[in-house]
Amino acid sequence: MVARVIPVNTFDLVIFGGTGDLARRKILPGLFRRFLSGQMPADSRVIGAARSDLNSAGYRDMVRAAIDEFGGDEKAETKKLDAFLAQLEYVPVDAKGDGGWKELAALSRTDVVRAFYFSVAPSLFGDLAERLHTHGIAGPKSRIVVEKPFGRDLDSAKELNATLAQHFDESQIYRIDHYLGKETVQNLMAVRFGNILFEPLWNNHYVDHIQITVAETVSVGGRGAYYDRSGAMRDMVQNHLMQLLCLIAMEPPSKFGADEVRDEKLKVIRALQQVEPHHIVRGQYDAGKDTQSYREDAENPRSFTESFIAMRCEIANWRWSGVPFYLRTGKMLKARSSEITVVFKELGHSIFEDDDTSHQNTLSIRLQPNEGMDLQVTIKEPGPGGMRLVDVPLDMTFAEALGDTDIEVTDAYERLIMDVIRGNQTLFMRGDEVEAAWGWTDPIIQGWEARNDVPKIYEPGSSGPEDAMMLLHRENRKWRNIKA
Ligand code: NAP
């Protein structure tokens, strides 16, 4: 199947922090892929802006090297890369000073879509927003894209929202959570709301529990000092896992529109119960044969920050009352794997007397790797021996099922950037959503800080601390195996 490319209007995208890690690793290679698929009109421009003293030619060299390093297979297409680079400009700009703003204003066009990507530290968001206005570079239809972390608690998130609101309307602000740009995450909504099969079962009458796992094999090495100030709860749960939880649990919106979807997500966050301390397990990875411990990576021998967290949450509404949602995420685990699994209840009564095993249908949505879905159904075990039953997967890997689409190569970032250009906010977090998420997270963090909770040590390459297993075992359930 050939992927359909929806054209976009001519745009100017200014990337503040255009020389930084995120721009080189994700944003610019992503834009190049969109260019290759014909989604970057010839008169569109990408303008890098940072303090580094470069001219446009020097910037193009930097971007060429970045695409070479991070761009994947498409790096070979030299002629096309030249054509893409020709659409790039660079202006040295200091977010905190006056340098460069007049030059940036001189480049500004008012008759095209204008977007400003704040790929810089959040402490610079206010400076950028203010100077974009005072220099008349942003207009009422301009869009700004802001990166995570959006605050580190409710107060700082409110402050950040208030700062941006001084210069931009909510309809102009695109808060990125790249998890929402993943193909499978959007598929979650297609599966739920595009099929009649699942919706009648999607409630506490038929669902036993739901598991959300985001497991990583990487350590925090390299950004240990930064990570140590945040931890898994702030870095992963408050944003990514919470977004997945919202999409799996929300009521059907009246249409797939930005506010309709975000209103429903917000209701889920507001209905989340506070989590009991004994329903939270925090962990820190130990040293391995050739790897450092979390505390060594964090350069903090007394650190109490978690590199792993598992928790049992509940949503207090009619649909989900009594259904546990188990969330788990961590570093240095046995495989890189993200999935959401809906575990349905056992049958009330089995008519098959030869079969004494228990069976539960499960629907798993794999976010990475091998984006796809897997529905476990129960069938007769083939051969003689009576009516014994066995569970088998109805597995669908999207890349196999749909053939030669651009699923594998389309990264979440490029999809989301194109949504910004189209003016579609559906897959971006609204200000009140972010604040509600911090409003739920803050007391949990304050709780373990007040208790001086010490994270449990776990083996690198394992599934996390033993206590995380117990979280489910003591309720006669078990986590899905973390496997690549
Ligand atoms: P980075 O590598 O440190 O890059 C920061 C960028 O900001 C550089 O281009 C830097 O260029 C520019 N900058 C710094 N001070 C400036 C100033 N006063 N005026 C103008 N430009 C300035 O950081 P990053 O990793 O790209 O991260 C950028 C943002 O994305 C952060 O908010 C981060 O939390 C978020 N993020 C990053 C990743 C990732 O994978 N890297 C993932 C998720 C979110 P000059 O030094 O030349 O000015």
CA 17 to ligand 1 centroid distance, Å: 5
The set of residues, in sequence order, having a beta carbon less than 8 Å from that of 163 and lying 6+ positions away, is 125, 126, 129
Range(s) for CATH 3.30.360.10 in the chain? 180-407+431-473
Probe residue for ligand 1, chosen from 16, 21, 130 as the CB with the greatest number of ligand atoms within 8 Å: 21
Probe residue for ligand 1, chosen from 119, 178, 223 as the CB with the greatest number of ligand atoms within 8 Å: 119
pLDDT at residue 397 in the model:
74
Query: With a threshold of 0.75, does the pTM exceed it?
Result: yes
pLDDT at residue 340 in the model:
96
Instruction: Choose, from 167, 178, 209, 240, the residue flagged as catalytic.
Output: 240
CA 120 to ligand 1 centroid distance, Å: 4
Structure tokens at 428: 């971006």
**349 is annotated as an active-site residue:** no
What is the C-alpha separation between 218 and 332, in angstroms, rounded?
5
CA 380 to ligand 1 centroid distance, Å: 56
- For atom 37 of ligand 1, which residue has the closest CA? 22
Beta carbons within 10 angstroms of residue 163's beta carbon: 16
Atom of ligand 1 nearest to the CA of 122: 32
Residue from 36, 125, 132, 33 nearest 91 by CA: 132
| Fold for the domain defined by 180-407+431-473 | Dihydrodipicolinate Reductase; domain 2 (3.30.360)
Range(s) for CATH 3.40.50.720 in the chain? 11-147
Say which CATH architecture domain 11-147 belongs to: 3-Layer(aba) Sandwich (3.40)
Q: Quick check: 214 and 338 in contact, CB under 8 A?
A: yes
Q: In 372-464, which residue ranges form alpha helices assigned H by DSSP? A: 398-402, 412-422, 431-450
What is the C-alpha separation between 207 and 323, in angstroms, rounded?
7
Atom of ligand 1 nearest to the CA of 52: 47
Angle, helices 258-271/431-450, rounded to nearest 10 degrees = 20
CA 331 to ligand 1 centroid distance, Å: 23
Our measurement of the distance from residue 367's CA atom to the centroid of its chain's CA atoms, rounded to an integer in Å, reads: 10
Residue from 137, 144, 478 nearest 324 by CA: 478
Structure tokens at 197: 């099969």
The one-digit pLDDT tens for each residue of the chain (484 residues) are 556 667 789 999 999 999 999 999 999 999 999 999 898 999 999 999 999 999 999 999 999 999 998 887 655 678 899 999 999 999 999 999 999 999 999 999 989 999 999 999 999 999 999 999 999 999 888 999 999 889 999 999 999 999 999 999 999 999 999 989 988 888 889 989 999 999 999 999 999 999 999 999 999 988 899 999 999 999 999 999 999 999 999 999 999 999 999 999 999 999 999 999 999 999 999 999 999 999 999 999 999 999 999 999 999 999 999 999 999 999 999 999 999 999 999 998 888 888 888 899 999 998 888 788 889 999 888 888 788 888 898 877 766 777 655 454 568 899 999 999 999 999 999 999 999 999 999 999 999 999 999 999 999 999 999 999 999 999 999 999 998 7
- For atom 1 of ligand 1, which residue has the closest CA? 20
What is the C-alpha separation between 95 and 137, in angstroms, rounded?
14
3-state secondary structure of 280: strand
Atom of ligand 1 nearest to the CA of 148: 44
pLDDT at residue 405 in the model:
54
Probe residue for ligand 1, chosen from 47, 70, 120, 413 as the CB with the greatest number of ligand atoms within 8 Å: 120
Helix H or strand E segment including 159:
helix 154-165
Tokens 């796992």 correspond to 213
Atom of ligand 1 nearest to the CA of 16: 21
pLDDT at residue 483 in the model:
87
The set of residues, in sequence order, having a beta carbon less than 8 Å from that of 106 and lying 6+ positions away, is none
3-state secondary structure of 65: helix
What is the C-alpha separation between 30 and 22, in angstroms, rounded?
11
Q: Which residues line ligand 1 (CB under 6 A)?
A: 16-17, 19-23, 25, 50-52, 93-96, 119-122, 124, 147-149
CA 92 to ligand 1 centroid distance, Å: 14
pLDDT at residue 373 in the model:
86
pLDDT at residue 358 in the model:
86
